[in-house]
């Protein structure tokens, strides 16, 4: 009988700790500490990604790039065609350069920094545009204008195929782009439209499924070798308007619909090795008119679509020895009361909330401590107030300053068993509404409201606290209220605010920095993060309706990108987070007592204990 080593080329090792490298997949070892046999096993799964900034359908071909650098191009937002472009970095979406025209149901090809868009509606246009990672420039036109076409390849070697054109109906046209001109290639065997785009090349692509008018969904699969289309292995079942990703020999299709009109939306996904289709795990959200991007069938991202209304849902696919746990908000212990204007400082494991406004009576003086699970009373602040600023990056020691009326009051709280103590006053009285940064003895307060209830009465004051006194520093470039602040006295990032702003402070001067992607002030929202190069903004009110939101965004020191949304919309609340894995959203007005905690994406090797069955 052959041994394990003879079969697999590896010996069964004896180890006291488990290996942690993906290259160890398939290795079996005996763990001496747990007295068990173990192995690293490959796993395939879809996981939630951060949502698109703008919900829209992308016509099944309006995405391109790879899982960690994808591009969503234009689309239909539920009301009209749009020119919005978004970029995905593997964690969240950020606004990209605006497309030259508002179009839906166009095709895309190439990469995030060398992309290509072509065709689309309204008008079944011949428009072609090239992307350099920041802006689009016009390319030479398609020979035949059409929409709902497929696309693959690169910016200088792209392929456009199939599609639909008014008056000419469904098409089997193929065109090749060389970076300058489109030239006609040999036609497809079957004319169809609403086909998936892939990340295949101009000389090796496939086109699976699609629709033939008036309502016949297809299983047809054709493969292109740079000259001719030939029959490939048909899909196991009919599908149209599905997302495509990967290559001819490592492809993936996901979602779509099986009938027309699309009353039966699909969550199923399939991989293709150039010969055989195989079932892969299902999407969490069934939808069609969904776009995809990805370099192979083991690493892809799909986004947008209709469910049946337009959606911003993003999902990532991974087939590897790594288990990816996506960023997410989860429920924490319920807060004692739902208050407006309360402050929160610390982390999600240890922090403090205080003050606020009930909306019906005197401001409360109560404060409460959070231990990561539940709340306990922690005494009363010396002066009833709401709209205070906060500092204290590693609770339980926190600092409270300012007041919405406005006020100059400053108080400290040191931790369990202690009481609040009055400290020296701010130089400029103002309300901060839960913003502020730094530890208790090296805090920062920027901007603020200098008159109760007057959004236009705002300050550009900038003060530092040293544990005893407040010192005025170089004023903020623009007077603003509700300014999100993250970092330290010498490395500070101030963002959002009202009016909308973004600036960095290096200890001596202010410089302009990017504003958050969603284009909203941090109007009674939460902010936090690990440093001036890792900032978060979450929830708050959003113009023009000023309704509570669930939005979350992250700043990485260069740009903003979306993150998973909170479960409960809220504004005017206590929210903070001293680390990138410790964001915290507490009570908000009117009467919201739910607590939510944020955890960032993690990756771990999929180690399995082997058992006899």
pLDDT in tens, 212-266: 998 999 999 999 999 999 999 999 999 999 999 999 999 999 999 999 999 999 9
DSSP assignment of 354-400 equals: E--B-SSSSPP-EEEEE-SS-EEEEEE-SS--SS-EEE-TTSS-EEE
Q: Is pLDDT of 3 > 70?
A: no
* Average pLDDT, integer, range 402-409: 90
Contact 569, 547 (CB under 8 A): yes
Residue of 281 and 356 predicted with greater confidence: 281
Cα–Cα distances (Å) from 66 to 15, 40, 160, in that order, read 37, 26, 19
> 565 and 440 share a domain?
yes
* Average pLDDT, integer, range 315-330: 88
Beta strands 584-588 and 596-599, pairing class:
antiparallel
pLDDT value at residue 452: 72
Which strands form 291-296's sheet, in the order they lie side by side? Answer: 43-49, 314-320, 299-303, 291-296
Q: What angle do CA 586, 590, 591 make, to 5 degrees?
A: 60
CA distance 267 to 242: 10
> 366 and 432 share a domain?
yes
pLDDT value at residue 338: 67
> 426 and 494 share a domain?
yes
| Residue 152 forms part of a structural domain | yes
> 15 and 115 share a domain?
no
| Residue 344 forms part of a structural domain | yes
> 521 and 550 share a domain?
yes
Residue of 65 and 571 predicted with greater confidence: 65
Closest CA relative to residue 35, chosen from 612, 609, 613 = 609
Give the pair of three-digit tokens for residue 181: 């001109």
Residue of 406 and 588 predicted with greater confidence: 406
> 314 and 285 share a domain?
yes
CA distance 489 to 482: 18
Q: Is pLDDT of 519 > 60?
A: no
Task: Quote the pTM value.
Answer: 0.89
pLDDT value at residue 453: 62
CA distance 193 to 4: 51
Q: Is pLDDT of 5 > 90?
A: no
Residue of 22 and 321 predicted with greater confidence: 321
Per-position b or e across 336-364, b if 16+ CB within 10 A of its CB: bbbbbbbbbbbbbbbbbbbbbbbeeeebb
pLDDT value at residue 157: 98
Contact 430, 440 (CB under 8 A): no
pLDDT value at residue 1: 58
pLDDT value at residue 518: 66
Confidence category of residue 529, pLDDT binned at 50, 70, 90: confident
Residue of 79 and 525 predicted with greater confidence: 79
* Average pLDDT, integer, range 441-460: 85
* 136-166 per-position pLDDT tens digit: 999 999 999 999 999 999 999 999 999 999 8
Q: Is pLDDT of 522 > 60?
A: no
8 — phi, psi (to 5°)? -105, -10
6 — phi, psi (to 5°)? -70, -35
Give the pair of three-digit tokens for residue 344: 């929160």
Which one of 320, 347, 373 terminates a domain?
Answer: 320
What's the domain count of the chain? 3
The H or E element spanning position 82 is strand 81-88
Q: Is pLDDT of 572 > 80?
A: no
* Average pLDDT, integer, range 491-512: 90
| Residue 612 forms part of a structural domain | no
> 312 and 421 share a domain?
no
pLDDT value at residue 455: 61
> 242 and 345 share a domain?
no
pLDDT value at residue 396: 74
CB count within 10 Å of CB 66 equals 20
> 228 and 258 share a domain?
yes
* Average pLDDT, integer, range 302-329: 92
Closest CA relative to residue 594, chosen from 563, 569, 561, 613 = 569
pLDDT value at residue 399: 94
pLDDT value at residue 346: 82
Residue of 598 and 62 predicted with greater confidence: 62
Most confident of the ranges 275-279, 528-532, 545-549: 275-279
CATH of the domain at 97: 2.120.10.80
CA distance 369 to 262: 51
Note down the domain range covering 250: 45-320
| Residue 213 forms part of a structural domain | yes
Contact 178, 228 (CB under 8 A): no
Q: Is pLDDT of 580 > 60?
A: no
Give the lowest-confidence range in 26-40, 401-415, 550-564: 26-40
Full 3-state SS string of 276-309: CEEEECCCCCCCECCEEEEEECCEEEEECCECCC
pLDDT value at residue 604: 83
The share of the chain scoring above pLDDT 70, in percent, equals: 93
Confidence category of residue 42, pLDDT binned at 50, 70, 90: confident
Query: How many helices and strands (H and E) does the chain possess?
Result: 1, 58
Confidence category of residue 568, pLDDT binned at 50, 70, 90: confident
Tell me the pLDDT of the chain averaged across its residues: 89
| Residue 390 forms part of a structural domain | yes
Is 279 exposed, middle or buried (CB count within 10 Å of its CB: 0-12, 13-18, 19+)? exposed
| Residue 316 forms part of a structural domain | yes
Most confident of the ranges 16-20, 154-158, 166-170, 577-581: 154-158
| Residue 605 forms part of a structural domain | no
> 379 and 299 share a domain?
no
CA distance 256 to 253: 9
> 516 and 440 share a domain?
yes
Which one of 320, 351, 370 terminates a domain?
Answer: 320
* Average pLDDT, integer, range 265-271: 98
pLDDT value at residue 31: 85
> 292 and 370 share a domain?
no
pLDDT value at residue 341: 76
pLDDT value at residue 46: 95
Residue of 256 and 336 predicted with greater confidence: 256
* 461-491 per-position pLDDT tens digit: 999 999 999 999 999 998 988 888 999 999 9
The H or E element spanning position 503 is strand 501-505
CA distance 342 to 338: 9
* Average pLDDT, integer, range 298-324: 94
Q: Is pLDDT of 85 > 60?
A: yes
| Residue 327 forms part of a structural domain | no
CB count within 10 Å of CB 135 equals 13
């Amino acid at each position: 009988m052959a041994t394990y080593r003879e079969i697999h080329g590896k010996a069964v090792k004896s180890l006291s700790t488990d290996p942690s490298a993906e290259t160890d997949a398939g290795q079996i070892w005996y763990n001496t500490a747990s007295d068990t046999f173990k192995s690293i096993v490959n796993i395939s799964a879809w996981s939630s990604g951060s949502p698109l900034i703008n919900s829209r359908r992308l016509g099944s071909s309006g995405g391109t790039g790879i899982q960690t650098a994808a591009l969503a191009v234009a689309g239909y937002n539920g009301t009209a065609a749009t020119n919005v472009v978004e970029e995905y970095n593997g964690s969240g979406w950020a606004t990209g350069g605006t497309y030259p025209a508002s179009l839906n149901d166009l095709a895309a090809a190439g990469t995030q920094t060398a992309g290509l868009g072509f065709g689309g509606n309204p008008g079944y246009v011949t428009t072609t545009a090239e992307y350099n990672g920041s802006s689009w420039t016009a390319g030479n036109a398609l020979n035949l204008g059409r929409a709902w076409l497929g696309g693959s390849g690169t910016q200088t070697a792209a392929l456009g195929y199939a599609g639909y054109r008014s008056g000419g109906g469904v098409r089997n046209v193929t065109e090749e782009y060389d970076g300058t001109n489109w030239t006609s290639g040999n036609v497809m065997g079957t004319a169809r439209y609403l086909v998936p785009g892939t990340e295949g090349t101009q000389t090796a692509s496939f086109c699976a499924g699609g629709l033939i008018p008036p309502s016949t969904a297809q299983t047809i699969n054709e493969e292109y070798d740079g000259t001719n289309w030939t029959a490939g292995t048909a899909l196991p079942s009919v599908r149209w308007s599905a997302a495509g990703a990967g290559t001819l020999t490592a492809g993936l299709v996901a979602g779509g619909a099986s009938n027309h009109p699309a009353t039966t939306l699909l969550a199923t996904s399939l991989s293709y090795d150039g010969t055989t289709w195989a079932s892969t795990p299902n999407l969490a959200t069934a939808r069609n008119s969904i776009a995809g991007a990805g370099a192979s069938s083991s690493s892809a991202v799909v986004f947008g679509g209709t469910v049946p209304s337009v959606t911003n849902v993003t999902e990532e696919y991974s087939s590897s020895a790594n288990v990816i746990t996506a960023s997410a908000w989860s429920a924490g212990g319920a807060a004692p009361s739902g208050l407006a204007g309360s402050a929160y400082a610390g982390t999600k494991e240890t922090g403090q909330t205080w003050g606020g406004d009930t909306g019906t009576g005197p401001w409360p003086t109560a404060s409460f401590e959070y231990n990561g699970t539940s709340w306990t009373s922690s005494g009363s602040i010396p002066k009833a107030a709401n709209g205070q600023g906060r500092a204290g990056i590693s609770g339980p020691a926190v600092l409270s300053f300012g007041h919405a009326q406005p006020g100059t009051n400053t108080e400290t709280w040191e931790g369990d068993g202690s009481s609040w103590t009055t400290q020296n006053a701010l130089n400029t009285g103002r309300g901060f509404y839960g913003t502020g940064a730094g530890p208790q003895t090296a805090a920062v307060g920027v901007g603020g409201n200098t008159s109760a209830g007057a959004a236009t009465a705002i300050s550009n004051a900038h003060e530092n606290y040293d544990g005893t006194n407040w010192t005025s520093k170089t004023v903020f470039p623009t007077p603003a209220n509700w300014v999100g602040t993250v970092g330290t006295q010498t490395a500070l990032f101030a963002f959002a605010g009202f009016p909308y702003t973004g600036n960095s402070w290096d200890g001596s001067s202010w410089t302009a920095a990017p504003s958050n992607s969603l284009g909203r002030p941090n109007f009674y929202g939460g902010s936090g993060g690990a440093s001036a190069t890792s900032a978060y903004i979450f929830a708050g009110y959003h113009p023009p309706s000023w309704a509570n939101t669930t939005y979350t965004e992250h700043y990485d020191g260069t740009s903003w990108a979306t993150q998973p949304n909170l479960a409960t919309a809220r504004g005017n609340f206590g929210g903070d987070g001293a680390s990138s894995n410790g964001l915290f959203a507490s009570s908000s007005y009117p009467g919201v007592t739910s607590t939510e905690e944020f955890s960032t994406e993690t990756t771990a090797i999929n180690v399995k204990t082997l058992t006899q069955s």
